[in-house]
Structure formats: C-alpha cells, structure tokens
Amino acid sequence: MGNASDTSAVFASSISEEHDILMGSIYSVFCILSLMGNCILLLVAYHKRSTLKPAEFFIINLSISDLGMTLSLFPLAIPSSLTHRWLFGEITCQLYAMCGVLFGLCSLTNLTALSLVCCLKVASPAMVTSSPRSATRTGTARCVSQMDSRRATGRVCTALRRQPPVT
C-alpha cells in the first residue's frame, strides 16, 4: 500500500490552491442552497400530496436524487477542496465516483422522462391527460366523434357530457 506520503501525492490536487479554495467556497454555497431548496420542495410536496399531478412526481424524484447527491458528495468535496487534496482514501474515492454516477444518471433519467411527458402533452394533448377534468373533456371529445357511427355510444356519451366538471 505504501506510506502516507505516497498516498497524499496521488490524491494531491492538480489545480492551484486559490482555485481549490474558491471551489470549496462555491461548493459550500451550493450545498446550503441545495439542501434548503430540495427540503422545502419535499416539504411542500408532502403537504400537497393529495393534489399532485403525475408530472410533479418526476420533480419530486429529481429533488430526491439531488438531495442524495448533495448529502453524499458535497461533504466529501468541500473539505478536500479546502485542503487542496483528497482526504478520504482510495475506497471512498471510488464510492464518491459511484454516487456521482448513480445520482447523475437518476437525475438525467428523471429529466428525460419529464421532458418526454411535456413533449407528449404539447404534441398530442388528447393522449396525455393530467387531471380528471381534462380526462372528462378528452373522453367527451372521443365520444362525440363516435356518436355519428353508433347510437348506443351516443347515449353513453350524452351521459358523460352531463357530468359536472371535477374541481
């Protein structure tokens, strides 16, 4: 394994000490803002959990992923930046990289799914419904188009149109 001077040389920072201290300070600000913002979002989502729309669950999942990244990566990056070298050894370095990849892929997957849902809502709003109220309107529109072809469907559709909108 080698002595302590060999491992400290391997984990020494390659950028200037001033830039490392600047990065440690920026990481500290981002850590505080991320903790506050994501905790507030999760708290609001918890209190409004009964009224959340399906797309908002992607935002909650993204917040959990960001919170995981904040809690697992920033506590290791900040002291290492401020001391101008990695402080936690090789195994922790590999776990740090694994957490970065894991939470990064979770965030990318959430953003991809969220953008796909938004794209589908814009491109074909009849296919994607976000609330019972819009589902009733979409169902009514489908029934109206079928009314010409079948009388039985027309009677069912008339009943659907008479339902009061869900608020």
| pLDDT tens sequence across 7-63 | 566 788 888 999 999 999 999 999 999 999 999 999 999 999 999 988 899 999 999
Query: pLDDT per residue over 110-143, tens digit each?
Result: 999 999 988 888 888 776 555 555 444 444 344 3
What is the pLDDT confidence band of residue 87, given thresholds at 50, 70 and 90? very high
- Secondary-structure breakdown of the chain: helix, strand, coil percentages, each rounded to the nearest 5: 80, 0, 20
pTM comes to 0.67
Q: What is the CATH number of domain 4-123?
A: 1.20.1070.10
Please say if the pLDDT value at position 5 is more than 70: no
Q: Give the pLDDT score at 129.
A: 57
Q: How many residues does the chain have?
A: 167
Spatial CB neighbours of 87, under 8 Å, sequence gap ≥ 6: 11, 76, 79, 80
Q: Give the pLDDT score at 142.
A: 41
Classify each residue of 128-155 as buried b or exposed e, where b means 16 or more C-beta atoms within 10 Å of its C-beta: bbeeeebebbebeeebeeeeeeeeebee
Q: Give the pLDDT score at 57.
A: 92
Q: Give the pLDDT score at 139.
A: 43
> SS3 of 144, please?
helix
68 or 53: which carries more pLDDT confidence?
A: 68
Q: Average pLDDT, stretch 78-99? A: 95
55 or 105: which carries more pLDDT confidence?
A: 105
Report domain extents, the chain: 4-123, 132-162
